[in-house]
């Protein structure tokens, strides 16, 4: 699947000695080996991928490495969140060591957010830290999880509780890889893309309203580069926030817009196929806008309606009744929210909005207010 390289865009993540580039473009996987050989002459590589991605992209990745004379070994794990576990982490770490990957060599995460988190964390701990490259293959990974250096596996107590901040040395996002992604996965990733418009860039949100169909189709026939542009804008937004607040002591929390409600819904559905992460975030962002609109009229109601309209027209869930199957009681939902967000002096922290493109961190949300709001929403089901 060698596609011609088109419209490559580079976004810099400025983190001092840990700075790196995100390269975005259609067909750029073919440049992986040359880029690695230029950045790390003589380095060996170890690819971590999952069985679905292996079918679609492993051959092309290995060919690109071989072409540039970069040695590569690999491991293929089962697809899905269950691979973010101690046992799979152990397998991956042992396989890296068995392949004689040493300091100076590279791990390559070839896959979606699951592989990025798992391989990134393995890289963080093997030999007290190996450098790694992210080759994200889902839309969610290209606009979100491959950028910013958060890596983790899951604990029995919750998702992403065992992890490290470990920045990659390069992110290579080839948009042609998204052509094989199931549409539902693509749509879920699109919710995170909308998030960047909603949290800080009203102009981008308007542009998405006008161009989302082109982004979904990938511009295969029209030659449009809307998809590449949308991913670049998202990465630039995330890179700027991460550069300001790498370890999430302040601003980086804005990236959690829609995630407090969203995580509770995801957990309520047992992190299953009933509700993908991005779908939960879509509903969560709609709820965050409606909650903000209701709370002392923080947001014009028309803005909340516009957000709901756009998410819904792409096929994303925006209301509790869009979520299939039973949902727990308001008490249980409140418990899930409290587990996700530490309650400080009886108050919850939420990312709220003053309008489209104007999110802020609000640490003083009264749980009773949230409870009343969610009861009303549940009653609409």
Ligand X SMILES: NC(=O)c1ccc[n+]([C@@H]2O[C@H](COP(=O)([O-])OP(=O)(O)OC[C@H]3O[C@@H](n4cnc5c(N)ncnc54)[C@H](O)[C@@H]3O)[C@@H](O)[C@H]2O)c1
DSSP 186: H
**Nearest distance from residue 23's CB to ligand X, in Å?**
17
* Number of residues forming the site for ligand X (CB under 6 A): 29
Tokens of 375: 């009861």
- Reply yes or no on whether 310 is catalytic: no
- Reply yes or no on whether 277 is catalytic: yes
DSSP 3: P
DSSP 273: T
Cβ–Cβ under 8 Å, residues 192 and 234: yes
**From the candidates 40, 74, 229, 256, which is the catalytic residue?**
256
Q: Exposed/middle/buried for 198, CB within 10 Å: 0-12, 13-18, 19+?
A: buried
**Nearest distance from residue 347's CB to ligand X, in Å?**
26
Consecutive H or E run containing 375:
helix 367-379
Among 25, 148, 219, 357, interactor with ligand X by CB under 6 A: 148
Among 61, 96, 135, 181, interactor with ligand X by CB under 6 A: 181
Interaction between residue 357 and ligand X (CB under 6 A): no
Among 25, 27, 33, 111, interactor with ligand X by CB under 6 A: 111
- Reply yes or no on whether 238 is catalytic: yes
Interaction between residue 262 and ligand X (CB under 6 A): no
Quote the Cα angle for 371-374-376, to 5°: 110
Interaction between residue 150 and ligand X (CB under 6 A): yes
- Reply yes or no on whether 128 is catalytic: yes
* Binding map of ligand X across residues 47-86, x = CB under 6 A, - = no contact: ---x-xx--x----------------------xxx--x--
**Nearest distance from residue 50's CB to ligand X, in Å?**
5
In this complex, which beta carbon is closest to ligand X, that of residue 173 or of residue 287? 173
In this complex, which beta carbon is closest to ligand X, that of residue 105 or of residue 192? 192
Distance separating the N- and C-terminal Cα atoms of the chain: 46
Beta bridge partners of 164: 151
Residue 63 CA to residue 69 CA, distance in Å, equals 10
Sign of CA dihedral 336, 342, 346, 347: negative
**Residues contacting 381, CB < 8 A, separation 6+:** 320, 321, 327
In this complex, which beta carbon is closest to ligand X, that of residue 241 or of residue 299? 241
In this complex, which beta carbon is closest to ligand X, that of residue 75 or of residue 138? 138
Among 99, 155, 185, 375, interactor with ligand X by CB under 6 A: 185
In this complex, which beta carbon is closest to ligand X, that of residue 84 or of residue 377? 84
| Other Cβ atoms within 10 Å of 227 Cβ, number | 27
Among 60, 89, 92, 177, interactor with ligand X by CB under 6 A: 177
- Reply yes or no on whether 44 is catalytic: no
**Residues contacting 235, CB < 8 A, separation 6+:** 11, 22, 24, 142, 143, 147, 171, 173
Window contacting ligand X (CB under 6 A); options: 11-19, 139-147, 166-174, 194-202: 139-147
Among 144, 201, 279, 340, interactor with ligand X by CB under 6 A: 144
SS3 241: helix
Consecutive H or E run containing 130:
none
What are the DSSP calls for 308-349, one per residue? Answer: HHHHHHTT---SGGGS-S----HHHHHHHHHHHS--BTTBEE
**Nearest distance from residue 142's CB to ligand X, in Å?**
9
Interaction between residue 256 and ligand X (CB under 6 A): no
Among 134, 137, 292, 314, interactor with ligand X by CB under 6 A: 137
Residue 329 CA to residue 375 CA, distance in Å, equals 8
- Reply yes or no on whether 211 is catalytic: no
* Binding map of ligand X across residues 22-51, x = CB under 6 A, - = no contact: ----------------------------x-
Residue 145 CA to residue 185 CA, distance in Å, equals 14
- Reply yes or no on whether 263 is catalytic: yes
Directed axis angle between helix 226-244 and helix 183-200, to 10°? 50
Positions that interact with ligand X (CB under 6 A): 50, 52-53, 56, 79-81, 84, 111-115, 117, 137-138, 140-141, 144-145, 148, 150, 159-160, 177, 180-181, 185, 277
- Which residues are marked as active site? 128, 150, 192, 238, 248, 252, 256, 259, 263, 277
């Amino acid at each position: 699947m060698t596609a011609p390289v088109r419209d490559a865009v580079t976004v810099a993540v400025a983190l001092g000695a840990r700075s790196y580039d995100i390269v975005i473009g259609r067909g750029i996987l073919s440049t992986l080996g040359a880029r690695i050989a230029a950045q790390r002459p003589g380095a060996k590589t170890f690819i971590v991928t999952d069985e679905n991605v292996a079918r679609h992209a492993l051959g092309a990745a290995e060919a690109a490495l071989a072409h540039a004379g970069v040695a590569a070994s690999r491991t293929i794990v089962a697809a899905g969140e269950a691979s973010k576990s101690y046992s799979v982490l152990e397998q991956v770490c042992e396989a890296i060591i068995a392949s004689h990957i040493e300091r100076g060599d590279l791990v390559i995460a070839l896959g979606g957010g699951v592989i990025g988190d798992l391989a990134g964390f393995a890289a963080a701990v093997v030999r007290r830290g190996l450098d790694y490259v992210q080759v994200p293959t889902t839309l969610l990974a290209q606009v979100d999880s491959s950028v910013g250096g958060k890596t983790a596996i899951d604990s029995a107590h919750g998702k992403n509780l065992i992890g490290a901040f470990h920045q990659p040395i390069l992110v290579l996002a080839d948009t042609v890889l998204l052509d094989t992604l199931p549409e539902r996965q693509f749509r879920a990733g699109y919710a995170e893309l909308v998030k960047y418009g909603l949290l800080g860039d009203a102009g981008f949100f308007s542009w998405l309203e006008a161009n989302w169909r082109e982004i979904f189709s990938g511009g295969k026939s029209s030659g449009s580069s809307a998809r590449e542009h949308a991913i670049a804008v998202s990465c630039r937004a995330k890179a700027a926030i991460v550069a300001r607040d790498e370890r999430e002591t302040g601003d980086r929390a804005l990236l959690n817009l829609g995630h407090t409600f969203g995580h509770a819904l995801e957990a309520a559905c047992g992190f299953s196929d009933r509700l993908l992460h991005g779908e939960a975030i879509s509903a969560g962002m709609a709820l965050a806008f409606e909650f903000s609109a209701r709370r002392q009229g923080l947001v014009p109601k028309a803005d909340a309606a516009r957000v709901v309209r756009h998410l819904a027209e792409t096929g994303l869930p925006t209301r509790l009744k869009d979520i299939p199957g039973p949902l727990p009681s308001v008490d249980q939902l409140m418990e899930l929210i409290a587990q996700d967000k530490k309650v400080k002096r009886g108050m919850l922290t939420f990312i709220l909005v003053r309008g489209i493109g104007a999110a802020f961190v609000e640490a003083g949300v009264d749980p009773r207010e949230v409870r009343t709001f969610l009861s009303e929403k549940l009653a609409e089901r």
